[in-house]
Amino acid sequence: MTFDVHQLDTFLLIGAGVTLLAILAVRVSTRAGLPSLLLYLLMGVALGESGFGIGFENAELAHALGFAALAVILAEGGLTTSWREVRPAVPLGLSLATLGVAVSVVVVAVAAHVLLGLSWQLAVLLGAVTSPTDAAAVFSVLRGLPVSPRLVGVLESESGLNDAPTVVLVTLISTGSVAEHGALATIGVIVFELVAGVLVGLAVGVGGAWLMRRAALPSSGLYPLAVLCLALLAYAVAAGAHASGFAAIYLAALVLGNSDLPHRQATRSFAEGLAWLAQIGLFVMLGLLLSPGRITFGTVALAVAGGLVLTFVARPLSVVVSSLVQPLPWRDLAFISWGGLRGAVPIVLATIPLAEHVAGSARLFDIVFVMVVIFTLLSGPTLPWVARRLRVTRRSEPRSLELEVAPLERVAADMLQVTISPVSRLHGVEVGELRLPEGASVSMVVRDGNAMVPERRTVLRRGDDVLVVTPRRLREGTVQRLRTVSAHGRLGHWLDER
């Protein structure tokens, strides 16, 4: 197969147009409360054999590209996750990613075999590929909801960790290793791959953070590339050692994202943009892989029945069993059960048996595809309503001030640009009344386009842009102090002490 410059021109024309359209579609999906994956999947179907006629039937290539895209998405998830917020939720998230997945696989597999008439191999594969939640869907939907950080932490940690065991399980079933070596050997392989992947990820993350703090790169744009390469290195090293690459890349990115590295904000922004590009390419490709002509009434019926079992039986039961390690109120558990969004992960996992030419794998792929579309349409838009009904929402705080961060690497400090909004109670507060942590200071106030160096008696006004310089070790305290005064005015200091 040849690829010349004329084909490159066509590829760039179609690729750039589709990508730009997909980026603009994010706003539509956000307003509708839908994970953007649905629009991207439908775009892929429209571009495929039943639409514009672009043929794509290479399951092996889809499998490889799908894993590459998932690796990038998990890297972004780790880099942008706050360990301080997610740490209290890790025990339950890890339990959901292991014990919860096992319970869900068993329930769905039994129901698929007994009630839906699938063979045991296809039934277990259906349970395995549909049990993990999708990191991209969870991150994109939950980070826009005003729910408890604890619940967000549980679902984010679960979605970041549950890909690893399910990938191993689906691969072993598809290659016939489970039937050959037995259940105990399979469990042993899964445990080994998980533990080894975690160790590799932690080692690369800690070592990479040590290296990046001492590297003096000639351009700030090289730091995001270096951090992402470190995360991908963790995936490759783990895969080369027959360990879980997904566990390794998520843990490495989590360590790197929460380390005191140069240009952290730029690194996170770069990773976020790259993850969006990976999502767009992944979902459009999976849409291309679908053949709508194969979708029959029986396929839809099996997808609906399997989805009902997964959503209303397997998922709640797995959450209840997993919560034994970290009990929570029933309202929280109900929200966690409903918030376990599926997305690209089940469809990507369904390409594994397709690439291994398992009997009935094409039918399984179609069932999973239809199931993901239907039940994402059901759960995604209703998640805010469910959160309100269960009373797990927190009061949506007004954006009383906008805050941007720029690193000052030579002095290990950060410059905060604070914009005082019309509703902020910073209005009327003197600079000296901010009582910032010792070492942090207000260096400039920009008002009506005019810059001035403030004094202690300078009064802040609505619409001011305030530049605050703070040592990096004091940044969290400085930001918290500014937010407290913005919410409570000059009494904020007294409220902090209380």
Residue 219 has pLDDT above 90, yes or no: no
Q: What is the mean pLDDT of residues 110-115?
A: 92
**pLDDT confidence tier of residue 398, bands split at 50, 70 and 90:** very low
Tokens of 115: 């009630």
SS (H, E, C) the chain: CCCCHHHHHHHHHHHHHHHHHHHHHHHHHHHHCCCCHHHHHHHHHHHCCCCCCCCCCCHHHHHHHHHHHHHHHHHHHHHHCCHHHHHHHHHHHHHHHHHHHHHHHHHHHHHHHHCCCCCHHHHHHHHHHHCCCCHHHHHHHHCCCCECHHHHHHHHHHHHHCHHHHHHHHHHHHCCHHHHHCHHHHHHHHHHHHHHHHHHHHHHHHHHHHHHHHCCCCCCCHHHHHHHHHHHHHHHHHHHCCCCHHHHHHHHHHHHHCCCCCCHHHHHHHHHHHHHHHHHHHHHHHHHHCCHHHCCHHHHHHHHHHHHHHHHHHHHHHHHHHHHHCCCCHHHHHHHHHCCCCCHHHHHHHHHHHHCCCCCHHHHHHHHHHHHHHHHHHHHHHHHHHHHHCCCECCCCCCCEEEEEEEEHHHCEEEEEEEECCCCCCCCCEHHHHCCCCCCEEEEEEECCEEECCCCCCECCCCCEEEEEEEHHHHHHHHHHHHHHHHHHHHHHHHHHC
Select the more confidently predicted residue: 137 or 232. 232
Q: What tens digit of pLDDT does each residue of 456-482 get?
A: 899 999 888 899 998 888 888 888 888
Residue 328 has pLDDT above 70, yes or no: yes
Domain 35-389 falls under CATH 1.10.10.60: no
Radius of gyration of the chain (CA): 25
CA distances from 157 to 78, 135, 160, 303, 448 (A): 9, 9, 5, 27, 44
Q: What tens digit of pLDDT does each residue of 260-300 get?
A: 777 777 888 888 888 888 888 888 888 888 877 788 888 89
Q: What is the mean pLDDT of residues 103-128?
A: 92
Q: Where in the chain is the domain with CATH 3.30.70.1450?
A: 401-497
Select the more confidently predicted residue: 108 or 159. 108
100 close to 318: Cβ distance less than 8 angstroms = yes
**pLDDT confidence tier of residue 34, bands split at 50, 70 and 90:** low
Select the more confidently predicted residue: 7 or 321. 321
**pLDDT confidence tier of residue 397, bands split at 50, 70 and 90:** very low
**Which of 479, 490, 488, 478 lies closest to 437, judged by CA?**
478
Region of poorest pLDDT, from 40-44, 132-136, 249-253: 40-44
Q: What is the mean pLDDT of residues 358-366?
A: 89
The model's pTM:
0.77
The amino acid sitting at 74 is L
**pLDDT confidence tier of residue 396, bands split at 50, 70 and 90:** very low
Confidence (pLDDT) at 395: 53
Most confident of 18-22, 68-72, 277-281, 315-319: 315-319
Confidence (pLDDT) at 111: 94
Instruction: In whole angstroms, give the CA distance from residue 400 to residue 12.
Output: 43
Q: What tens digit of pLDDT does each residue of 437-448 get?
A: 888 999 999 998
Confidence (pLDDT) at 196: 92
Confidence (pLDDT) at 316: 94
Select the more confidently predicted residue: 420 or 214. 420
Q: What is the mean pLDDT of the chain?
A: 84
Residue 55 has pLDDT above 80, yes or no: no
Q: What tens digit of pLDDT does each residue of 371-388 get?
A: 988 888 888 778 888 888
| 223 alpha carbon, distance to own chain's centre | 22
Confidence (pLDDT) at 103: 94
Confidence (pLDDT) at 281: 84
Q: What is the mean pLDDT of residues 161-167?
A: 86
CA distances from 261 to 232, 234, 264, 417 (A): 18, 18, 6, 20
Q: What tens digit of pLDDT does each residue of 226-265 get?
A: 999 999 999 999 999 988 898 999 999 999 988 877 777 7
Confidence (pLDDT) at 204: 95
Q: Where in the chain is the domain with CATH 1.20.1530.20?
A: 35-389
Q: What is the mean pLDDT of residues 30-52?
A: 70
CATH class assigned to 401-497? alpha beta
Residue 498 has pLDDT above 50, yes or no: no
Q: What tens digit of pLDDT does each residue of 334-348 get?
A: 999 998 888 778 888
Residue 320 has pLDDT above 90, yes or no: yes
Select the more confidently predicted residue: 334 or 216. 334
